[in-house]
Amino acid sequence: MRTKLVIVMLGLMVFAIVATALSSAHTLRISMTKQIDVQLNASWPTMAYGLNKAYVHSLNEDGTSSDFDPTLMGLNSSYADIRDADGTLVYVMPRSRVAPTNGSDQPLLDPQEIQKLAEHPLVPSTVPGSYRNSAGWRTMMVPLQSSNLNLFLALPLDHVNTTVRQTAVLVLSTGMLAALLMSMIAYGLTGRSLRPLINVERTASMIADGDLSQRVKDYPSETEVGRLSRSLNAMLAQIEKAFLDREASERKMRRFIQDASHELRTPLVTIQGYSEFYRYGGLADPEAMDSAMGRIEAESKRMARLVEDLLMLARLDEQRPMEKQSVDLLVLGQDAVEDTKVRAPDRTVKLVGLTTERPSPASTLGDDARIRQIIANLLTNALRYTPEGTPIEIAVGVRSLVAGAMDAVVEVRDHGPGIPPDDAKRIFERFYRADSSRQRETGGSGLGLAIVAAIVQQHGGSVALSDTPGGGATMSISMPYVPVVERPEPEIDDENSTGS
């Protein structure tokens, strides 16, 4: 880029120098030609008188002549002659330095040139010279009033051409030298100006080699390179984040596949084992057959629940649109309390408020069935991982946030052993269970809380885990609070109403 910029600049400078030289030469030629024309116009009356007198003396019978020297008038190297109306040469200035002798240059006044000059007397015109390399002559015709003769006065243009040529060469040589010097300076300055782009190029090369942590140096924001560096750094940050997210997603996917395979393999092995045992005749006893069928049915149901949970997470990951409606968490909490009393009659489950014993309505927009599933999963998790007889509270209410915003909140509080801090960080991950031995006594697959987190996220809310005062764990679900707008009942005009 630097070489191209300098070459383009040098080309423009050379073009400007050549154009300047040509225009200067043309202007100088016009100026010097006008000076010669001024000399011709100023000297022709005296020249006409002197040459006419010399011509008359040359015709005297005694042969005496009166020589006329034009150099006395400052007309060096001038040429003058007298011709008749037909253009025939009748007299030449005798002391002219360019008198018609062999080897001397003189203006070529052929009939065409003479005719042209005759049409515009006393008007200077340029005619060629007799030499091949002649610069030409500036001549004009002066009619002699005393006779039917014409005076042709001419000055050479050699000095004009020489001066114009020297001026053009001087302008070109000086300009080319200046252009060369400016190109060298421009090459250095351009390299210095493009140094940030070179740094960007080097950084891009390192990034192309796989080092996504590289960043372009920050430059002033008012420059193009500064704006480019900021855009590149922002783009690189997004790309690096995308790569890290992809790697994390791939790790989660591999772990998900491993966990799903492990979870599905156990019931499948159980079903396959009892099937092979039956095929080899090991279940001839009706009681053994009933026991085997019961185990196969239980494992099939557990596998079906696992598949349903996986399908639920897959649908949630697709972010399918939901049919949202106004949902009161207080109503859902009350229903969950009644259902839990039926499922676990030995447990004490009650509905309370967030800060008081009395719950308050907390409405939001969402999918009624999925929010019910959230509360059911949290209650199942609390029942499963707490000792028998441990009380559970469902707290419902509205919590104020900053800037006047409010959240509808439902909490499931247990008073069990709680969750260790290391497990609390990963409790909402898929297939994660605090029971790392994966024994089946609890019957959990590690997907219940992951489904809760996915559904809450789809509703624009958040889920959090905290310690219950006095011991235990509290699962808190927060969703945007949307108050229910009560529509006023239409007024009935008793006078216009009719009864049946």
Q: Which of 226-230, 292-296, 334-338 has the highest mean pLDDT?
A: 334-338
* pLDDT tens column, 355-385: 888 888 899 998 888 899 889 889 988 888 8
The mean pLDDT of the chain is 78
Strands 462-467 and 473-480, by their bridges, are antiparallel
Which of 109-118, 223-232, 380-389 comes out lowest in average pLDDT?
223-232
Is 102's pLDDT higher than 50? Answer: no
pLDDT at residue number 74: 47
* pLDDT tens column, 148-186: 788 888 888 888 888 888 988 998 999 899 888 988 888
Dihedral-angle region of residue 230 (phi above 0 means left; psi in -120 to 50 means alpha; beta otherwise): alpha
Closest CA to 330 of 206, 133, 481: 481
Residue 467 to residue 473: CA distance in whole angstroms: 5
Q: Which of 307-316, 340-349, 419-428 has the highest mean pLDDT?
A: 340-349
- Three-class SS string for the chain? CHHHHHHHHHHHHHHHHHHHHHHHHHHHHHHHHHHHHHHHHHHHHHHHHHHHHHHHHHCCCCCCCCCCCHHHHCCCCCEEEEEECCCCEEEECCCCCCCCCCCCCCECCCHHHHHHHHHCCCCCEEECECCCCCCCEEEEEEEECCCCEEEEEEEECHHHHHHHHHHHHHHHHHHHHHHHHHHHHHHHHHHHHCHHHHHHHHHHHHHHCCCCCCCCCCCCCCCHHHHHHHHHHHHHHHHHHHHHHHHHHHHHHHHHHHHHHHHHHHHHHHHHHHHHHHHCCCCCCHHHHHHHHHHHHHHHHHHHHHHHHHHHHHHHHCCCCCCCEEEEHHHHHHHHHHHHHHHCCCCCEEEEECCCCCCCCCEEEECHHHHHHHHHHHHHHHHHCCCCCCCEEEEEEEEECHHHCEEEEEEEEECCCCCCHHHHCCCCCCCCCCCCCCCCCCCCCCCHHHHHHHHHHHCCCEEEEEECCCCCEEEEEEEECCCCCCCCCCCCCCCCCCCC
pLDDT at residue number 414: 92
Which of 78-92, 233-247, 425-439 comes out lowest in average pLDDT?
425-439
Please calculate the CA angle 145-77-108 and round it to the nearest 5 degrees.
65
- 305, 337 Cβ separation under 8 angstroms: no
Higher pLDDT, 35 or 196: 35
Range 17-43 average pLDDT: 87
Residue 129 to residue 106: CA distance in whole angstroms: 5
Higher pLDDT, 444 or 30: 30
Range 243-267 average pLDDT: 77
Higher pLDDT, 135 or 198: 135
- 216, 200 Cβ separation under 8 angstroms: yes
Residue 141 to residue 18: CA distance in whole angstroms: 37
Range 343-360 average pLDDT: 88
Backbone angles phi, psi at 384, to 5 degrees: -75, -40
Which of 15-29, 44-58, 365-379, 465-479 comes out lowest in average pLDDT?
44-58
pLDDT at residue number 500: 33
Sheet holding 125-127, edge to edge: 89-92, 79-84, 149-156, 137-144, 125-127
Is 395's pLDDT higher than 90? Answer: yes
Residue 394: band (very low, low, confident or very high) from pLDDT cuts 50, 70, 90: very high
- What predicted TM-score, i.e. pTM, was given to this entire model? 0.47
pLDDT at residue number 346: 87
Residue 195: band (very low, low, confident or very high) from pLDDT cuts 50, 70, 90: confident
What percent of the chain clears pLDDT 90, i.e. is strictly above it? 10
pLDDT at residue number 436: 46
CA 273 to mean position of chain CA atoms: 63
Range 287-294 average pLDDT: 83
Residue 13's identity, in one-letter code, is M
Residue 497: band (very low, low, confident or very high) from pLDDT cuts 50, 70, 90: very low
Structure tokens at 250: 């791939």
Residue 413: band (very low, low, confident or very high) from pLDDT cuts 50, 70, 90: very high
Which of 40-44, 60-64, 83-87, 378-382 comes out lowest in average pLDDT?
60-64
Higher pLDDT, 437 or 21: 21
Structure tokens at 35: 């000076």
Is 402's pLDDT higher than 90? Answer: no
Which of 6-20, 125-139, 221-235 comes out lowest in average pLDDT?
221-235
* pLDDT tens column, 318-344: 667 777 889 999 999 999 999 888 888
Count the alpha carbons within 13 Å of 12 in the hemisphere toward its beta carbon.
Answer: 7
Burial class of residue 138 (count of CB atoms within 10 Å of its CB; 0-12, 13-18, 19+)? buried
